[in-house]
């Protein structure tokens, strides 16, 4: 996804079309319910996340609002991680 975002950003920039993406880590959703229901699996995942928890879908909103606003008018080819600090390690 990172390379696709960058490639499309370069391809479409001449048409003044910006391409960015958001990379969320584990979020509390129906898709991760089984992971969270297993204490062993849940704890193993959480131990790898600096904030020590799954994120909430509502915590991705800031990145979405930024990319969909004029505040990001000079931003293209960027992947914004919303990952509780996972990639900072």
Mean pLDDT for 27-33 is 97
In this prediction, residue 88 carries a pLDDT of: 96
In this prediction, residue 67 carries a pLDDT of: 98
- Quick check: is 87 in a domain? no
- Quick check: is 16 in a domain? yes
The pTM is what?
Answer: 0.88
- Quick check: is 20 in a domain? yes
- Quick check: is 74 in a domain? yes
C-alpha–C-alpha distance, residues 38 and 47, integer Å: 14
Q: Count the domains in the chain.
A: 1
C-alpha–C-alpha distance, residues 52 and 49, integer Å: 5
- Name 80's bridge partners: 22
Give the pLDDT confidence of 39-75 residue by residue, as tens digits: 999 999 999 999 999 999 999 999 999 999 999 999 9
C-alpha–C-alpha distance, residues 28 and 62, integer Å: 17
Which residue in 51, 42, 48, 2 sits closest to 22, CA to CA?
2
């Amino acid at each position: 996804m990172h390379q696709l975002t960058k490639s499309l950003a370069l391809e479409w920039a001449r048409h003044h079309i910006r391409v960015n993406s958001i990379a969320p880590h584990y979020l509390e959703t129906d898709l991760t319910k089984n992971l969270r229901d297993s204490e062993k699996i849940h704890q193993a995942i959480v131990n790898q996340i600096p904030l020590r928890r799954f994120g909430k879908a509502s915590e991705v909103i800031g990145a979405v609002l930024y990319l969909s606003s004029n505040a990001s008018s000079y931003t293209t080819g960027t992947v914004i991680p919303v990952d509780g600090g996972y990639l900072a390690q």
